Amino acid sequence: MPNPNHPKPGSSTLVQPIRQLEDIQSIKKLLASKPRDLLLFTLGINNGIRTGDLLTRKISDVHFAKPGQTIQIRESKTGKTNTLSVNREVYKALRGHLEASDHRDDEYLFPSGKCRQKPLTIMAVSRMIKSWCKAINLPGNYGAHSLRKTFGYIQRTHFGVGFELICKRFNHSSPSVTMRYLGIEDKEVLEILTHEI
């Protein structure tokens, strides 16, 4: 029987956003006993920052962060400055992670399970996200980029944020790039034709 969490041979291997709020809540419940993983998931879907830039954060970057605070970081891919926001969900997950065990300020926020002096790798995060989605029976292809894509997708479809703003947040060259990146499907575009004016 084919694995619903992997694309068919020859098909696109682009990872998808998690599109339903209920699925996001299911993953949060699944990770309730894993504070590091819950923080990674929560931080990713609430900020839309590349996973690689989250993995290089140290405890010292966020140790004293408060709800509503923003932290400036430099993107490794673009060299541009970006903002990491600590909303209430992020703060709750952050405190849970920091209080779960002793952490030194010079340690990575998301340490590898094998060595606390090294961060998780993007490949490890991709495997983790695939396993979370499989555990809640969510069909599709998911990976490290799914966190960033989920942020943009939920901002657009649930909160009604325009592509121009999400494009700016992602440092994309144009809104059309953002549309493709988020996997906005044709049926969603066609739905606007049902709005009566």
Domains present along the chain, CATH in parentheses: 21-194 (1.10.443.10)
Q: Is 181 a catalytic residue?
A: yes
Out of 28, 127, 134, 172, which one is annotated catalytic?
172
Helix axes 145-157, 122-135, angle to 10 degrees: 60
| Predicted confidence band of residue 72 (pLDDT cuts 50, 70, 90) | very high
Out of 19, 130, 145, 149, which one is annotated catalytic?
145
Above pLDDT 70, what percent of the chain? 88
What is the per-residue pLDDT for 13? 62
State whether the Cα torsion 83-92-157-51 is positive or negative: positive
Q: Is 50 a catalytic residue?
A: yes
pLDDT, mean of residues 119-129: 97
Instruction: Judge whether residue 47 has pLDDT over 90.
Output: yes
**137-196 pLDDT tens trace:** 999 999 999 999 999 999 998 998 988 899 988 988 888 888 888 877 656 656 666 667
Query: pTM for the full model?
Result: 0.86
Instruction: Judge whether residue 11 has pLDDT over 50.
Output: no
Q: Is 145 a catalytic residue?
A: yes
Out of 36, 148, 149, 169, which one is annotated catalytic?
148
Instruction: Judge whether residue 71 has pLDDT over 60.
Output: yes
Out of 19, 50, 130, 149, which one is annotated catalytic?
50
Q: Is 172 a catalytic residue?
A: yes
Tell me the three state secondary structure of residue 102.
coil
What's the mean pLDDT when you consider all of the chain?
88
The amino acid sitting at 164 is: E
Q: Is 103 a catalytic residue?
A: no
Q: Is 74 a catalytic residue?
A: no
The amino acid sitting at 106 is: D
What is the per-residue pLDDT for 10? 42
What is the per-residue pLDDT for 76? 87
Instruction: Judge whether residue 48 has pLDDT over 90.
Output: yes
Out of 8, 77, 114, 187, which one is annotated catalytic?
77
What is the per-residue pLDDT for 192? 63
What is the per-residue pLDDT for 181? 87
Report CA-CA distances (Å) from 185 to 63, 179, 181. 40, 9, 11
